[in-house]
Structure formats: structure tokens, C-alpha cells
């Protein structure tokens, strides 16, 4: 059992076993593809905590690691982190223009109000930098080539699984 977190939105996933050779995952929440680090020793603290005493017991019975094993483990961890970092950078290089983002979200000049379900909205966004919920609005911020786009959603609709876009502006 291992836990991996999406580098873009932080959603975490529990995997029964690590995919062969590391592999990649597509985040169900935001659609980001990211690398799963290869096996590198004990699971992260969060996973051990979630696993409870069973996890601790398994670790106890694990044969003691040699220094060489530890070094290889460290290298694998660092390589995994580097791959994830490069993927994040590579994704960030591809920031859309403001116009492209609007098209991506289905906003057309003179068109009516745009509404879709939450999953579709997340897929269309691709990634976002942060979001906040305030009073009756949910704000999403997405880096675009000209700066940053602010997408304002209706909070009531959002809590019912619908993304109703009230406003999009370039900041
Ligand atoms: Zn995600």
C-alpha cells in the first residue's frame, strides 16, 4: 500500500501496489498526469499512519536494510522527486493564453452563461494555481501567458457539483 499526492492539486491516492517501473497516474480531480516514484523503502509517514499498527508491524519484520540499500533508496527518491518536478515545470511551461483558456472553458463572445459539472470543469481547467471560497463565490486562479485569470463560480451550484461560471477576468 502506498499513498501518492497529485503535484498539481494535492489530491491523494492510495495504491495497492506500485506500478511496474514507477509509471504515471492521471489525477481524477484535475486531470494532471504525474509520475509515481519507484519503490524506495518504508512508505511515507502519512501512509504508515493511515495503515495503523499493521504498517508498523510489517516494517518491523522487514529485513534490515544495508547501507547500499539505503543509498539506492535515496537515489530513487531523489530521481522520483526530480521527475515529478520536471513534469510540473513542463506542464507550467504550457500556460495557455487568456483567450485559449476562455475557449477551453467554453466561454464564447456573446454566448450565454456557461455551466458544466465539476468534473468537466476540472478537466477543462487542466490545472490551476489555487482556489478560494468566499461568501457566495468560489474563485479559481490559473496562470495564463498574459498574467493570471480569475474564474468566479457560483458557490451554491459548486456545492451541488456544478461549475457555473459567473465571471472570468485577466489580472
Ligand atoms: Zn490533481
Domain ranges of the chain: 2-93, 98-170
Q: How many angstroms is it from 33 CA to the middle of ligand 1?
A: 8
Higher model confidence: residue 56 or residue 117? 117
Q: Are 169 and 153 in contact (CB under 8 A)?
A: no
CA of 58 to the centre of ligand 1 (A): 30
Return phi, psi of residue 5, to 5°: -115, 140
pLDDT at 54 > cutoff 50: no
Cell readout for 94 is 504550457
The string of pLDDT tens digits covering residues 72-81 is 888 888 888 8
Give DSSP secondary structure letters for 29-43.
TT--EEEPPPP-SSP
Task: Using the mean position of ligand 1's atoms as its centre, give its distance from the Cα of residue 124 in Å.
Answer: 13
- Lowest mean pLDDT: which of 30-44, 101-115, 127-141? 30-44
| Set of cell numbers at residue 21 | 517501473
Taking Cα atoms as reference points, which of 1, 33, 3, 28 lies closest to residue 16? 1
Ligand 1 centroid from CA 16, angstroms: 19
User: How far away, in angstroms, is 89 Cα from ligand 1 center?
Assistant: 15
Over range 85-106, report the average pLDDT: 81
pLDDT in tens, 118-168: 999 999 998 898 999 999 999 999 999 999 999 999 999 999 999 999 999
Grid coordinates representing 92? 507550467
pLDDT for residue 146? 94
C-alpha 31 – ligand 1 centre gap (Å): 6
Pick the more confident residue, 119 or 3.
Answer: 119
State in Å: Cα 28 to ligand 1 middle.
7
Question: Residue holding cell 451554491?
Answer: 156
Q: Is the pTM of this model over 0.95?
A: no
**Cα–Cα distance between 111 and 23 in angstroms, integer?**
41
Spatial contact of 117 and 153, defined as CB atoms under 8 Å apart = no
Neighbour-count burial for 131-144, b at 16+ CB within 10 Å, e otherwise: eeeeeeebebebeb
Q: How far is the CA of 56 from the centre of ligand 1 (A)?
A: 29
For residue 62, report the distance from its CA to the centre of ligand 1, in Å: 32
Q: What is the DSSP letter of 137?
A: E
Task: Give the model's pLDDT for residue 24.
Answer: 81
The pLDDT value recorded for residue 50 is 47
Res 112: pLDDT: 82
CA-CA-CA-CA torsion sign (132, 135, 138, 139): negative
- The pLDDT of 42-55, averaged and rounded, is 50
Least confident of 5-9, 110-114, 164-168: 110-114
Amino acid at each position: 500500500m502506498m499513498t501518492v499526492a497529485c503535484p498539481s492539486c494535492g489530491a491523494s491516492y492510495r495504491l495497492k501496489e506500485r506500478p511496474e517501473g514507477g509509471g504515471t497516474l492521471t489525477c481524477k480531480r484535475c486531470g494532471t498526469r504525474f509520475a509515481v516514484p519507484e519503490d524506495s523503502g518504508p512508505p511515507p509517514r502519512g501512509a504508515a499512519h493511515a495503515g495503523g499498527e499493521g504498517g508498523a508491524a510489517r516494517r518491523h519484520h522487514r529485513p534490515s536494510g544495508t547501507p547500499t540499500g539505503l543509498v539506492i533508496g535515496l537515489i530513487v527518491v531523489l530521481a522520483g522527486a526530480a521527475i515529478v518536478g520536471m513534469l510540473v515545470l513542463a506542464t507550467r511551461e504550457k500556460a495557455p493564453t487568456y483567450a485559449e483558456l476562455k475557449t477551453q472553458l467554453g466561454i464564447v463572445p456573446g454566448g450565454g452563461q456557461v455551466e458544466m459539472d465539476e468534473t468537466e470543469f476540472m478537466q477543462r481547467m487542466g490545472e490551476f494555481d489555487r482556489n478560494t471560497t468566499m461568501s457566495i463565490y468560489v474563485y479559481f486562479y490559473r496562470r495564463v501567458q498574459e498574467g493570471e485569470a480569475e474564474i468566479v463560480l457560483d458557490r451554491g451550484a459548486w456545492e451541488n457539483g456544478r461549475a457555473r461560471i459567473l465571471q472570468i477576468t485577466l489580472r
